[in-house]
Amino acid sequence: MKRPRLRPRLLPDRKRPLLFAHRGCSSLAPENTMAAFRKARDLGAPGIELDIHLSAASGGGPGALVVSHDGHFGRTAPGSSIPGGRTIEEMSWEEIRQIDVGSFFGPEFRGERAPLLEEVLREYCPGMYIDIELKSGGAGDLESIQILPLRLAELLRSLGPDIERSVTVSSFNPLSIAAFRRAASRTPIPTAVIWSDGPQIPRPLRHGFGRHIARCDYLKPDSREVSASLGRLARREGRPLVPWTVDDPEEARRVLDLGAEGIITNRPQDFLNLFSGR
C-alpha cells in the first residue's frame, strides 16, 4: 500500500508571523531587482517574494531562470528597444541582461538588471527565506507548466539542503505546482496555490479550488478573500494562510487575527515593529 504523502511544514524554523517583501522592497526600489532585495534585507525583513520566467535557450545551452514579474519588459523598461516586443520566453539571457529595469523607478537605480534566480538564492539564502512564484500562461503553455518547474527543482537540488529549506514555491496555475511537486519529490518543499476573485483568474480557480489539483501545502489568497470561514478551512485542511498584498497595518492585523501565518507586502518597512510585538 502506498503511504500518504506527508505535507511539508511551512518554514517551521522561522519566526511567526512570516513577512515576505513583495518583489523585494518594491515600494522603495525597482521591483524584482537586487536593489529591491538588498533594501528588504537592510531594513530587516526576514523574507522576500519574487517571480520567475524561463528565457529562451541560446548557444546550445538551456534557458535561464530570470527574475521578473511580467512576461515582457514594457512596464519596467519602457525606454528599451526590444525588437518586436518579445517576451522573456522568446529572448536569450544575453539579450535580457542588457535591459535596464531600474531607471523607470528612479535615476539612482539606472543600470539595474533583471537577475538570475541563482544569483538571488546564493546571495540571500539561507539568511532570508524566499517565496518563488512560477509564472505561466494558460493550460496550453506546456513549457512554463512543465519545463519551468522542472528547471527550478533541478536548481534547488544543486544548491543543497540549506537553500532548499529556505524556499517555498507558488503559482496561480495549479498544474505548475503539481509538476514542481513531482520534480522535487525527493526533498519536499512547501508549495502554494495563489488566487483572487479577479476576472483574469479562470472562474473555477477564483476561490482556491486549485489546491485540490495541486495538492499544495499552504494557501496564498488575495487578502480580500481572507475571512473567518477561510481561516477555519485552512486550519481544518492543515494548510497555512499567507495572503497578498497587504500594505495596510490594519489589514495585516485583520488577516492575522483570522489565522494567517504571515503576509506578503510591498512595504515591509511598515510592519517590522508591528510584527516584532506579536
Which residues, including other chains, have CB under 8 Å from residue 47's CB and lie 6 or more apart?
Answer: 14, 18, 19, 20, 21, 128, 129, 130, 131, 262
Question: Angle CA(20)–CA(151)–CA(262) in degrees, nearest 5?
Answer: 15
High-pLDDT (> 90) share of the chain, %: 82
The chain-wide mean pLDDT, for the chain, equals 92
- pLDDT attached to residue 2: 45
46 neighbors 128 (Cβ within 8 angstroms): yes
The 10s digit of each residue's pLDDT in 69-111 is: 999 999 999 877 665 578 999 999 999 999 999 999 999 999 9
- pLDDT attached to residue 62: 87
Q: Is the pTM of this model over 0.85?
A: yes
Q: Please determine, for residue 173, whether its predicted confidence score (pLDDT) is greater than 60.
A: yes
Alpha-carbon distance of 23 to 34, in angstroms, equals 10
Which residues, including other chains, have CB under 8 Å from residue 119's CB and lie 6 or more apart?
Answer: 34
The 10s digit of each residue's pLDDT in 4-48 is: 567 899 999 999 999 999 999 999 999 999 999 999 999 999 999
28 neighbors 21 (Cβ within 8 angstroms): no
Sketch the domain layout of the chain as residue ranges.
Answer: 18-71+116-276
What nine digits make up the cell of 84? 518586436
Q: Please determine, for residue 140, whether its predicted confidence score (pLDDT) is greater than 60.
A: no
H helix or E strand, kind and range, residue 114: none
Provide mean pLDDT across the span 259-263: 97
Confidence of residue 58 (pLDDT cuts 50, 70, 90): confident
Q: Please determine, for residue 1, whether its predicted confidence score (pLDDT) is greater than 50.
A: no
The 10s digit of each residue's pLDDT in 101-118 is: 999 999 999 999 999 999
- pLDDT attached to residue 86: 86
Label the pairing between strands 191-195 and 129-134: unpaired
Provide mean pLDDT across the span 174-187: 94
Helix-helix angle 117-124:34-43, to 10 degrees: 20
Helix-helix angle 148-159:117-124, to 10 degrees: 30
Alpha-carbon distance of 276 to 278, in angstroms, equals 6
- Three-class SS state of 125: coil
Q: Please determine, for residue 66, whether its predicted confidence score (pLDDT) is greater than 90.
A: yes
The fold of the 18-71+116-276 domain, in CATH, is TIM Barrel (3.20.20)
Work out the number of other CB atoms within 10 angstroms of the CB of residue 33: 26
Q: Please determine, for residue 127, whether its predicted confidence score (pLDDT) is greater than 50.
A: yes
Provide mean pLDDT across the span 178-191: 94
- pLDDT attached to residue 137: 59
